């Protein structure tokens, strides 16, 4: 089983469940959580709307109203119940009911395995296991069947929107090229932001011509290797005399005006990832690499990549989560103490396909791994080993080896622009689609909902 990201997002699912959960967002607590959800007073119910013969009751509206008020409070936006808000909640319920009916009528189905995966993802995002998630929702009055029903509805809505909206939003190659051509080339040093990495071959103040020639030749060797595709960070460690060599030679993202004019002239016409010629300053010989170049009008054309390795233990009846955590914790202690080699442990114990390579996963761009894995990996410094973490695949131990900025290829740049233009088209497309469904539905409003 691959670690790479599955094709659907559960952000909306976690958000939905959080509206039923504690104000702390299901964070671990040291004492039993007390329910903060307002209690719905039992009273005679009545139908407030009918959607294609399916009723919506006043109690449904009131429950959703209370959840909306609680969620707004959690987000720091206190909101009191009002007749206008109750009407808005009813309209949202009508739209959701129309879309769910459309999904069922057009053959969209969600199996138990998909609900199981969504449930696990909600638990992972809230840093608890599934059993603890059930307990905390139960303390808030939400049963397992209710939660799974909500997850099923959200999966059906997601699949419907993906099929009927997202798949129809197209961005042509002509639109991408037109966007790229329309963007002005921003060389204004007060707004253009750049991050340069350098190799400095320092020249002593009283160096002789022979010494200068030798140092220049050293710089040319480093330049040839950099332009030949060797890792720039490794070349910095080998050649550079600059104080920033510990950061891979990077001088940091800043406005161009904060760089020496000599550096700007050497890199003005370079793209991200390009390497300058050897240039001379009063400090010595410099080789500059463009790590980032950000114009306010253009999407970022570089990404931060990570190279990591991991050990994966899969859970089974003979290996529980706590046992896997303890075993991996022992591995971490041994690696940190210098008593064991991470790669050797991975080859011997990991149950992932990367075991034969010592657990190495190669250079990875954002989004290549499942969120729970990537979130922990992104917090590590090079050489650091994580605590054991649980993903949908099992329990992992991660060691970050390197991190670098990588230029997007021309194709990746176009894909970035395409995604950006698609996002811009998505909202109006979804609104138009939802309004069309609503207009075709039979909706009978019977009585105004009561917010008390």
Is 183 domain-assigned?
no
Question: Do 18 and 144 sit in the same domain of this protein?
Answer: yes
**Domain of 113, in residue numbers:** 11-169+431-445
What total number of domains does the chain contain? 3
Please determine, for residue 191, whether its predicted confidence score (pLDDT) is greater than 80: no
Q: Which of 14-18, 233-237, 246-250 has the lowest mean pLDDT?
A: 14-18
Question: Do 254 and 345 sit in the same domain of this protein?
Answer: no
Torsion of CA 226, 231, 234, 239, to 10 degrees: 0
List pLDDT tens digits, range 99-112: 999 999 999 999 88
Question: Do 314 and 355 sit in the same domain of this protein?
Answer: yes
Alpha-carbon distance 385 to 388, whole Å?
9
| More reliable by pLDDT, 398 or 36 | 398
Question: Do 104 and 126 sit in the same domain of this protein?
Answer: yes
Residue 397 φ/ψ, nearest 5 degrees: -125, 130
Please determine, for residue 297, whether its predicted confidence score (pLDDT) is greater than 70: no
> What is residue 452's predicted lDDT score, i.e. its pLDDT?
62
Alpha-carbon distance 151 to 155, whole Å?
6
Q: Which of 32-36, 115-119, 183-187, 223-227 has the lowest mean pLDDT?
A: 32-36
Is 59 domain-assigned?
yes
Question: Do 314 and 400 sit in the same domain of this protein?
Answer: yes
Is 322 domain-assigned?
yes
- Tell me which residue of 366, 214, 253 sits closest to 305, measured CA to CA: 366
| More reliable by pLDDT, 292 or 399 | 399
> What is residue 7's predicted lDDT score, i.e. its pLDDT?
32
8 Å CB contact between 115 and 8: no
CATH number at residue 17: 1.10.4030.10
Question: Do 309 and 277 sit in the same domain of this protein?
Answer: no
Out of 277, 294, 311, pick the residue that ends a domain: 294
Residue 11's pLDDT band (cuts 50, 70, 90): very low
Look at the block and give the residue holding tokens 């390197």.
Answer: 402
Out of 276, 294, 312, pick the residue that ends a domain: 294
| Highest-pLDDT range among 6-20, 219-233, 247-261 | 219-233
Is 179 domain-assigned?
no
Question: Do 78 and 116 sit in the same domain of this protein?
Answer: yes
> What is residue 185's predicted lDDT score, i.e. its pLDDT?
52
Question: Do 285 and 311 sit in the same domain of this protein?
Answer: no
* Distance (Å) of CA 432 to CA 9, 158, 236: 23, 16, 54
> What is residue 215's predicted lDDT score, i.e. its pLDDT?
95
> What is residue 236's predicted lDDT score, i.e. its pLDDT?
92
Question: Do 102 and 18 sit in the same domain of this protein?
Answer: yes
- What residues contact 111, with CB distance under 8 A and at least 6 apart? none
Mean pLDDT of the chain: 83
- What residues contact 228, with CB distance under 8 A and at least 6 apart? none
Is 99 domain-assigned?
yes
Question: Do 349 and 398 sit in the same domain of this protein?
Answer: yes
Is 215 domain-assigned?
yes
> What is residue 451's predicted lDDT score, i.e. its pLDDT?
66
Between CA 93 and CA 98, with CA 94 as vertex, the angle to 5 degrees is: 115
List pLDDT tens digits, range 108-126: 999 888 888 888 878 877 7
| More reliable by pLDDT, 33 or 174 | 174
Residue 318 φ/ψ, nearest 5 degrees: -90, -10
Question: Do 21 and 138 sit in the same domain of this protein?
Answer: yes
List pLDDT tens digits, range 343-380: 999 999 999 999 999 999 998 888 788 888 998 999 89
Please determine, for residue 22, whether its predicted confidence score (pLDDT) is greater than 80: no
| Total Cβ atoms within 10 A of residue 406 | 15
Percent of the chain residues past pLDDT 90, beyond the cut: 44
Out of 294, 313, 328, pick the residue that ends a domain: 294
| More reliable by pLDDT, 285 or 451 | 285
Is 383 domain-assigned?
yes
Is 177 domain-assigned?
no
List pLDDT tens digits, range 61-85: 888 888 888 777 776 777 777 888 8
CATH number at residue 217: 3.10.50.40
Question: Do 20 and 165 sit in the same domain of this protein?
Answer: yes
């Amino acid at each position: 089983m691959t670690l790479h990201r599955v094709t659907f997002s559960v952000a909306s699912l976690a958000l939905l469940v959080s509206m039923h959960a504690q104000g702390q967002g299901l964070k671990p607590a040291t004492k039993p959580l007390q329910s903060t959800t307002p209690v719905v007073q039992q009273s005679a119910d009545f139908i407030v709307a009918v959607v294609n013969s399916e009723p919506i009751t006043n109690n449904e509206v009131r429950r959703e109203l209370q959840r909306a008020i609680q969620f707004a409070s959690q987000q720091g936006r206190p909101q009191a119940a009002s007749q206008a808000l109750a009407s808005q909640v009813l309209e949202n319920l009508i739209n959701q009911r129309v879309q769910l009916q459309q999904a069922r009528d057009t053959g969209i189905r969600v199996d138990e395995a998909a609900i199981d995966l969504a449930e696990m993802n909600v638990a992972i995002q809230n840093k608890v296991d599934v059993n603890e998630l059930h307990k905390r929702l139960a303390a808030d009055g939400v049963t397992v069947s209710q939660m799974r029903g909500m997850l099923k509805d959200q999966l059906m809505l997601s699949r419907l929107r993906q099929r009927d909206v997202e798949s129809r939003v197209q961005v042509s190659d002509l639109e991408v090229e037109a966007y790229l051509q329309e963007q002005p080339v921003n060389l204004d040093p007060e707004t253009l932001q750049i991050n340069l990495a350098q190799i400095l071959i320092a020249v002593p103040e009283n160096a002789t011509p022979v010494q200068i020639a030798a140092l220049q030749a050293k710089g040319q060797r480093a330049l040839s290797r950099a332009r030949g595709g060797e890792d720039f960070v490794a070349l910095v460690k080998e050649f550079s005399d600059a104080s920033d060599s510990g950061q891979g030679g990077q001088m940091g993202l800043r406005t161009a005006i904060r760089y020496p004019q000599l550096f700007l002239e050497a890199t003005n016409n370079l793209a991200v990832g390009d390497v300058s010629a050897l240039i001379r300053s009063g400090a010595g010989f410099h080789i500059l690499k463009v790590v980032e170049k950000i114009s306010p009008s253009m999407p970022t054309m570089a990404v931060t990549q990570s190279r990591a390795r991991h050990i994966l233990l899969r859970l089974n009846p003979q290996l529980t989560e706590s046992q896997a955590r303890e075993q991996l914790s022992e591995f971490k202690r041994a690696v940190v103490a210098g008593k064991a080699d991470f790669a050797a442990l991975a080859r011997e114990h990991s149950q992932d396909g990367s075991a034969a390579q010592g657990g190495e996963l190669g250079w990875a761009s954002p989004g290549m791994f499942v969120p729970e894995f990537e979130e922990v990996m992104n917090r590590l410094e090079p050489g650091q080993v994580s605590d054991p973490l649980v993903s949908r695949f099992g329990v992992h131990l991660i060691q970050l080896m390197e991190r670098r900025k990588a230029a997007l290829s021309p194709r990746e740049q176009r894909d970035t622009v395409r995604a950006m233009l698609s996002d811009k088209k998505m909202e109006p497309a979804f609104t138009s689609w939802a309004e069309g469904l609503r207009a075709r539905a039979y909706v009978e409003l019977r009585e105004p909902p009561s917010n008390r």
